[in-house]
Amino acid sequence: MKKLKIAIVLALLPLQFVAAKSPQKNDDGVFTPTHAIDTYIDAMVRGRLNGFDAVIDGSAKFTMLISKNRLNSFDKKQMLTFMNVIKDTELDCTVNTGIIQNTPDMVVAKVDMKFATFTRSNYVSMANTHSGWKIINVYSVFNQVK
């Protein structure tokens, strides 16, 4: 377990340097994409919900491809209800993050959560709204580790 915690810390270390260099709020006091994705990872991986509600747009959709014939979709309210059930639960996985698309109005990030037997890839879409960068869509795919 100790080795796993060290692996998680080492995997997240580059992300922390990016977060340290980037301001959490821009000059107008609104959220940045870095803040939105860091808050998402904190909630999903560590169960820390501080600020999670604020970075999720009211119309956000969360979709999981469970199998080739089965999609599960949730709205913001359903996701917040679920997250409150698993609050403060830390997942046993390593996290890798990368930016797929970056424009002035939209950012798409890929957040891979690698567990012992599978990887959950989350494609997180964020939009530059009037109140800062908000997560508008998360599409998750599960792949078995081979």
Q: Of 38, 8, 9, which is closest to residue 23 (Cα–Cα)? A: 38
- How many angstroms separate the first and last alpha carbons of the chain? 22
pLDDT score of 1 more than 90 = no
| 26-70 pLDDT per residue, tens | 444 468 999 999 999 999 999 999 999 999 999 999 999 988 889
Are the C-beta atoms of 80 and 52 separated by less than 8 Å?
Answer: yes
pLDDT score of 6 more than 70 = no
Provide CATH code, domain 2-144.
Answer: 3.10.450.50
Read off the pTM. Answer: 0.78
Give the type of residue at 12.
L
Q: Can you give the pLDDT at residue 30?
A: 62
Name the DSSP class of 52: H
| 73-125 pLDDT per residue, tens | 999 999 999 999 999 999 999 999 999 999 999 999 999 999 999 999 999 99
Domain coordinates of the chain in residue numbers?
2-144
Q: Can you give the pLDDT at residue 13?
A: 42
| 12-26 pLDDT per residue, tens | 444 443 444 443 454
pLDDT score of 9 more than 60 = no
Cβ contacts of residue 5 below 8 Å, gap of 6+? none
